[in-house]
Structure 1
Amino acid sequence: MRARFFFFSALVCLLFLQSIFAHVPYFESHVISNISVSQVHYFEIQQPGVREIKIISRGEPLYLMFAVPRIERLKNYRPTFELIDPNGNVVEHFSTASIEPRLYHEEFGDTYEWIYYEKEFPTQPGTYVLKVTSNGPGKFWISVGRVEKFSIMDIIALPVTVARVRIFHEEFPILWWGWIILTLLGLGVWGIVSLVKGGG
């Protein structure tokens, strides 16, 4: 009984945390689909160059945000990007060089972001290409979509995911609530294993 209590307590905590976590995170994913679903994609650039990201549209509106994590050494990291439609036309060209970013605090993961770009516009069905040109090593993320939708695996993996996001922001990976959930899950798993062994 105690084991189940710990396990379900941890699950309830995860469900609560999921309700305040806005985006499904992905790392180094170069294809973005289901663009109506709220999601954020993290990228790290090792050297100057162009990173191409495919965005697959079924004709729904594209809500797009472009940001850089607030890390002091990235203050002068100023990428540009072009969004190219399925016909090869440049529909958006944006440079962060002369932009004063908006500072944003993501409370759930306790990270800070420099938001450079945010816009929603119509699309046609097909594959768009986002070309991000970097002037040097750096990090950026893009988010799309407004509909919050999580799978059970997304919820279970939430503590690990948040730790990865914080590492991306060069912060200590585990927050206070992470220790609580890990402890509850550990106690629950230990209790269930003990019950199984005892029953055998």
Structure 2
Amino acid sequence: MRSTRQLRMVLRFRLFREHDMRCLLSSIKAGLITFVLVSLLGRELFAHRPIFTADAAASPETAIRITNPDISQVIYREITQHTPQVWLTFTAPKDFELFIQIGVPVIDRLKDFRPSMALIGPGLPADAAPFPLPQGLGAKVFSTKEVEKPRFFHEHFTSTHSWILRSETVRLPSAGRYYLVAFSLGNQTGKLWLSLGKRESFSLDDLKQFPAWRKRIQEFHEVKKN
């Protein structure tokens, strides 16, 4: 018959093995999710983590804070007369290579909509922007008004279509706080999406949110239900 001490040791060993197994399974699940997302969702648009928030994002003061600008993320918004800009903000080190992209849903009324991007931050040139800049910061403006044939993109998982208007990679000249802004010239209004970052990163919790994400993205793109 085993002693109480031996039974305790056996129990601890079993608990340790169960903990190890749970950690291993979590790692495997995380790896499988990343593989499935990258394989099935496409590596260009939905590989971005969607940003859904009620924040106004209409000024530097209300800008949506991005914790990791290297992780691919996208925000869907509509430019209107009352909300003429969409502001994101993040901090980054000097020489950080920032990938940014802007596009619009494939909707007939948006075929001539040409929103622009502006990167605002320390050490950037003083490009003209149609709105006041935070004090002491410069700006680099990326216009899309010359784009005649946007790049068509079909996202398989959400069954949505987009016109990609412009993609840029910018090496940041200084460390500090930056802003990425989407805006429209000439009083144009319409829906757009603005993205930054390239590194795909999804958690187990993200998998649970995918059905809701898909529904919201389809609604934004005005996908007709069969």
TM-score by length of 2: 0.63
Distance 2:191 2:153 in 1: 16
- Tell me whether 162-171 or 35-44 shows the greater mean CA deviation: 35-44
Gaps of 5+ in 1: 1-10, 175-200
Once the two structures are TM-superposed, the CA of residue 53 in structure 1 deviates from its matched residue by: 1.2
1:94 counterpart = 2:142: yes
Which of 80, 84, 93 is the matching residue for 1:46? Answer: 80
CA root-mean-square deviation: 2.6
**Cα distance change, pair 151–162 in 1 and its aligned pair in 2 (3 A):** same
Which of 14, 22, 26 is the matching residue for 2:51? Answer: 26
Gaps of 5+ in 2: 1-28, 42-46, 56-63, 123-135
- Structure whose residues are more often strand by fraction: 1
- Structure whose residues are more often helix by fraction: 1
1:75-99 superposed Cα distances (whole Å, 9 cap, x missing partner) = 1222223211134111x21222221
Q: For residues 68-107 of structure 1, what are the structure 2 equivalents within 5 Å? A: 68-86=104-122, 87-90=136-139, 92-100=140-148, 101-107=150-156
Once the two structures are TM-superposed, the CA of residue 131 in structure 1 deviates from its matched residue by: 3.1
Q: What is the percentage of aligned positions where both structures have the same residue?
A: 36
Preserved contact between residue 53 and residue 131 of structure 1 (Cα < 8 Å): yes
User: Which letter does structure 2 place at the counterpart of 1:128?
Assistant: Y
Preserved contact between residue 102 and residue 117 of structure 2 (Cα < 8 Å): no
1:136 counterpart = 2:161: no
Distance 1:63 1:173 in 2: 33
TM-score by length of 1: 0.71
SS of match in other structure, 2:193? strand
Moved over 4 A (4+): none
Quick check: which has more Rg, 1 or 2? 2
Once the two structures are TM-superposed, the CA of residue 130 in structure 1 deviates from its matched residue by: 2.6
